[in-house]
Structure 1
Amino acid sequence: MTNPSSLPPEWAPQRALWVGWPRLDHEWSGGMEAARDEIAAFVRAASRFVPVRLAAGDEAAAAAAHKRGLDTVCEVVRIPTGDIWLRDTGPLLTEDGRALCFAFNGWGGKYDMEGDAETASAIARAEGSLAEAFGFVLEGGSLDFDGEGRLLTTRQCLLNPNRNGEVTEGEVETLLKDALGGTEVIWLGRGLHGDHTDGHVDNLARFTGPGRAVCQAPYGDDDPHADVLAEAERDLRAAGLDVATIPSPGRILDADGEVLPASHMNFTITNGAVLLPIYDEASGAAAREALAPLFPGREVVALPARAILEGGGGAFHCMTREVPGAA
């Protein structure tokens, strides 16, 4: 690729926000309607700040969105989708009108759904962006950007042989810098326990400004992710970043008593707002209070995301993709 430019940070102006919409009931273990209710609430909240485009993968999904009245607050767009995780299946959009479309292999071959491989190019066409294809497997949720050339990621994901075979840290750094215009890659180790993405960084730590990052502190004495959270904070500080912490959700279990990879890091930043997923009233309130000072001038909107997490494994950041530019 010629003339790479650093991707804008998520807090840069956005002219639209894409949101995924569930359509495959069997992928949600019977919880698709509950997840749709939470996503509908997210769409209504986000639409107060940015034009929302809801990605409906088929006519039945579009009809379900219309039935909930979402067409009155957003644009319902028919494009090919498998699941809702547009952060990973969609393109990385640049400020100069390009759509960087990396290869997608179902998170290392774990989830192969018809439509997911076509989502990136479909969003590029819908936005009138120039699509640039890359053969390297890369999901958007595995990266975060601070707008000044710093890229944040994890070794567990980007060096996992289930994506691109045996690649070295240096080879990945060169690709990221060449393709995305980055100048520094900051590596964290592993992601949350039970994260089927193999440690996406958007569940672990996020940039809040140039050279500034936020991660989570354990919540409660039985936080199952305490070891991972401590490692992430240590590595961020060692990289020379200005680091803040907010409480994690703590121990969040599914109906079978299994630990879920619940994370307050999976927030979506948009014009004038940060949309924060919560899974427990007490830990959610604590996280909202701690996050607000890190985004002055933005309203932190806390919304339930437990059904999305239980049925799909992710939350708000995973299911969204911003379009840079003036609204």
Structure 2
Amino acid sequence: MKRFTPADPTPRELGFSMPPEWELHEATWMGWPADDELWFGHLSGVRNEYAALARTIARFERVEMLVRDEESERDARARLDGANVRFHRVPLDDSWLRDSGPLFLTRGEKEREVALVNWRFNAWGGKFEWENDDRIPEYVASFLNMAHWDRPEVLEGGGLEIAGGGAALTTRSCFLTETRNPGLTEEGYTFLLSDMLGVQKLHWLEGGLENDHTDGHIDTITRFAAQDVIVTSVEPNPADPNHAAMSRNLRLLREMRTPAGEPYRIVELPLPANVLHGAEGRLPPTYANFYIGNGFVAVPQYGDPNDKAAINTLRPLFPDREIIGLSSRKIIEGGGSFHCLTQQQPAGKAWNGESS
């Protein structure tokens, strides 16, 4: 297993890029919820919903489940008994594998090879403990015997949305915070993501949902459903604090063009109608935090009047996949949902870096 440094050839130079989520997966990586304090006293309910999500994913593809201690492993094994899940005892701070886990890369078509990038993780600008979670990509690379690039920059998977074909989406409110990569500009990110992930065109939105502790991750508001299709959250109520930001995003998206110069098809996705509050104020529930897997899309549900409308909006966008609504009412107490809790490993052979 080779470890690449910034002085070595980049993934782009070796023909690697990050594929979109809808391409075939080998597995999904997750981390079992373990800290009742981090979940504001809702851990039991969170584990119930989390187990339902993990079991659903395991119907379609293998789940690689990280468990941090004996109690977590015992609880996870009991709740997931009989499911297609492989367990790993690994020190964890939290469960948000989208952000703390690696970003996988692929190259080739018939004989697809898979590598990964190990970005730094600092819990969204130092908001929580992160030292254990920052080591997750190194564990994954070692377990898979997979070549990987170690980078000094902080980058969370939930802050970047990949379309395939070279396009990606992010938000300025997240990427340009001084608590992540001070001094790294929009231009700097463009070069960095071109070299490391094969991004040819980086689209910028301004910001995300109110009271999102990630500083506005793109995966809570706006997602690609295909290379030329973008689904984005909207809030029709002018009195709602999310209305202005979502309206501005919608205007910007309508002006954007694909790498080929064509307009995107923009699909409006409602936010939940009801305002939810948790231990730290207003919560950021959203249907955009769906997870695309092999043959399915898992969509968060909140017991809200707009739950069904969200399902009906997404179903035509994924005609070859089963659209599955699952409760996320307790999970959202932690500030995220299904996409935040998962990280896909693309199908292919792990590349150990011995040849290029």
TM-score tier, shorter chain, comes to over 0.9
> How much has 1:3 moved relative to structure 2?
4.0
Give the Cα–Cα distance (whole angstroms) in 1 for the partners of residues 46 and 236 of structure 2. Answer: 25
| SS across alignment from 2:344 | strand
- Counterpart check, 1:32 vs 2:43: yes
> How much has 1:216 moved relative to structure 2?
1.5
243, 247, 266: which one aligns with 1:243? 266
The 1:235/1:183 distance shift into structure 2, 3 A limit, reads: same
> 1:52 corresponds to which residue?
63
Task: Report the structure number with the largest CA radius of gyration.
Answer: 2
The 1:222/1:75 distance shift into structure 2, 3 A limit, reads: farther
Give the Cα–Cα distance (whole angstroms) in 2 for the partners of residues 323 and 25 of structure 1. Answer: 28
Query: Which amino acid in structure 2 is aligned with residue 188 of structure 1?
Result: L
- Counterpart check, 1:78 vs 2:101: no
- TM normalised by structure 2 equals 0.87
**Conserved 8 A contact 1:145-1:152:** yes
Query: Which amino acid in structure 2 is aligned with residue 100 of structure 1?
Result: V
105, 121, 128: which one aligns with 1:94? 105
**Conserved 8 A contact 1:100-1:134:** yes
303, 312, 329: which one aligns with 1:306? 329
> 1:296 corresponds to which residue?
319
**Conserved 8 A contact 2:273-2:305:** no
| SS across alignment from 2:116 | strand
- Tell me which moved more, 162-171 or 270-279: 162-171
> 1:319 corresponds to which residue?
341
Give the Cα–Cα distance (whole angstroms) in 1 for the partners of residues 82 and 143 of structure 2. Answer: 17
Query: Which amino acid in structure 2 is aligned with residue 306 of structure 1?
Result: R
- 1:77-112 per-residue CA deviation (whole Å, 9 max, x = no partner) reads 222321000000000011232110101111101112
- 1:290-310 per-residue CA deviation (whole Å, 9 max, x = no partner) reads 110011111110001011111
The residue correspondences of 1:231-310 to structure 2 (distance < 5 A) are 231-240=248-257, 241-255=264-278, 258-310=281-333
- Tell me which moved more, 256-265 or 228-237: 256-265
Query: Which amino acid in structure 2 is aligned with residue 33 of structure 1?
Result: S
| SS across alignment from 2:20 | coil
> How much has 1:71 moved relative to structure 2?
5.4
> How much has 1:158 moved relative to structure 2?
0.7
C-alpha root-mean-square deviation of aligned residues, in Å?
A: 1.8
Give the Cα–Cα distance (whole angstroms) in 1 for the partners of residues 322 and 26 of structure 2. Answer: 18
Query: Which amino acid in structure 2 is aligned with residue 270 of structure 1?
Result: G
Give the Cα–Cα distance (whole angstroms) in 2 for the partners of residues 37 and 163 of structure 1. Answer: 33
Give the Cα–Cα distance (whole angstroms) in 1 for the partners of residues 119 and 81 of structure 2. Answer: 30
The 1:255/1:87 distance shift into structure 2, 3 A limit, reads: closer
Give the Cα–Cα distance (whole angstroms) in 2 for the partners of residues 59 and 256 of structure 1. Answer: 28
**Conserved 8 A contact 1:272-1:299:** yes
**Conserved 8 A contact 1:40-1:70:** no
- 1:276-324 per-residue CA deviation (whole Å, 9 max, x = no partner) reads 01113421111001110011111110001011111x1110000100010
**Conserved 8 A contact 1:222-1:250:** no
Query: Which amino acid in structure 2 is aligned with residue 205 of structure 1?
Result: T
| SS across alignment from 2:49 | helix
**Conserved 8 A contact 2:105-2:197:** no
> 1:130 corresponds to which residue?
147
**Conserved 8 A contact 1:224-1:251:** no
Query: Which amino acid in structure 2 is aligned with residue 37 of structure 1?
Result: N
Runs of 5+ unmatched residues, structure 2: 1-8, 107-112, 258-263, 350-356
> How much has 1:219 moved relative to structure 2?
6.0
> 2:244 corresponds to which residue?
227
> How much has 1:258 moved relative to structure 2?
3.1
**Conserved 8 A contact 1:148-1:210:** yes
> 1:203 corresponds to which residue?
220
> 1:2 corresponds to which residue?
10
The 1:218/1:118 distance shift into structure 2, 3 A limit, reads: same
Runs of 5+ unmatched residues, structure 1: none
The 1:222/1:128 distance shift into structure 2, 3 A limit, reads: farther
- Counterpart check, 1:15 vs 2:44: no
> How much has 1:125 moved relative to structure 2?
2.0
Among all aligned residue pairs of Structure 1 and Structure 2, give the percentage whose two residues are the same amino acid.
Answer: 37
Query: Which amino acid in structure 2 is aligned with residue 174 of structure 1?
Result: F
Give the Cα–Cα distance (whole angstroms) in 2 for the partners of residues 212 and 320 of structure 1. Answer: 22
Give the Cα–Cα distance (whole angstroms) in 2 for the partners of residues 112 and 87 of structure 1. Answer: 16
> 2:165 corresponds to which residue?
148
> How much has 1:222 moved relative to structure 2?
5.8
**Conserved 8 A contact 1:249-1:284:** yes
